[in-house]
Amino acid sequence: MDQKPDTIHTSQQILDIAQRLVQTRGFNAFSYADIANELSVSKASLHYHFPSKAKLGARLIERYEDGIERALGEIDLAGGGAAAKLRRYVGIYAKVLADERMCLCGMLAAEFETLPKAMQAALDSFFALNERWLVSVLEEGSSSGTSHFQGSASEAAQYIIGSLEGAMMMAKSNGGTARFNAATQRLLSEFGI
């Protein structure tokens, strides 16, 4: 069944507001009432689009993963080798922080144990996508001699993701983008970039 354009627009508005709320407050710190108030609609109309908060959360992660998959594809198309790709990857995180938000999935990971199973599985998928892409970039850099790392590419990829998520948290609580930039510069230098 195809959705009407107005229904699609409303669904997107709901997702946009929910994403901002998760990125600034966390998933457990907002309710349908917060979204309904912003849109000036009833909570019942939100339930028409997303029958439960868990379904809304799963769709948020899916949409965020689609966005990062497109961004990673654009990085690949831009080329420039592993070093340039890793710098652009860090730039994704930097842009989110500059918009005074946190990584949606990083925020959700902090609440992992309290999330519904479908959201937990979607989070695992998001981080697995990032790890697979980073592994391919790291292996490319290792093969060409433009970057180096200790251990497996998978371990290095996990380290990069964890470092970026942690750097965002620390920057948000103290020091802002300057602190994030300093941390990520050090991170890149560890890989010879």
Contacts of 112 (CB under 8 A, 6+ apart): 120, 123
**Is 40 within the bounds of a domain?**
no
Q: What is the pLDDT of residues 11-43, one digit of tens each?
A: 999 999 999 999 999 999 999 999 999 999 999
Average pLDDT over residues 105-115: 97
Does any domain span residue 31? no
Residue 69 CA, chain-centre distance (Å), reads 10
Give CA–CA dist 154/139, Å, rounded: 10
Residue 97 covered by a domain: yes
Q: Measuring CA to CA, which residue among 122, 113, 103 is closest to residue 28?
A: 113
Looking at residue 1, its pLDDT comes to 42
Q: What is the mean pLDDT of residues 146-162?
A: 96
Over range 41-56, report the average pLDDT: 94
Q: What is the pLDDT of residues 168-187, one digit of tens each?
A: 999 998 888 999 999 999 99
Residue 107's pLDDT is: 97
pLDDT (0 to 100) of residue 4: 53
Confidence (pLDDT) at 6: 64
Q: What is the CATH number of the domain that holds 110?
A: 1.10.357.10
Q: Is residue 172 part of a domain?
A: yes
Residue 16 in any domain: the answer is no
Domain that holds residue 138: 54-190
The reply to whether 92 falls in a domain is: yes
Find all residues with CB under 8 Å of 132, minimum gap 6, and list them. none
Strand, coil or helix: 101: coil
Contact between 160 and 88 under an 8 Å Cβ cutoff? The reply is: no
The answer to whether position 181 is within a domain reads yes
State how many domains the chain has: 1
**Whole-model pTM over 0.75:** yes
pLDDT of residue 193: 87
pLDDT, mean over the chain: 94
In a domain, 1, yes or no: no
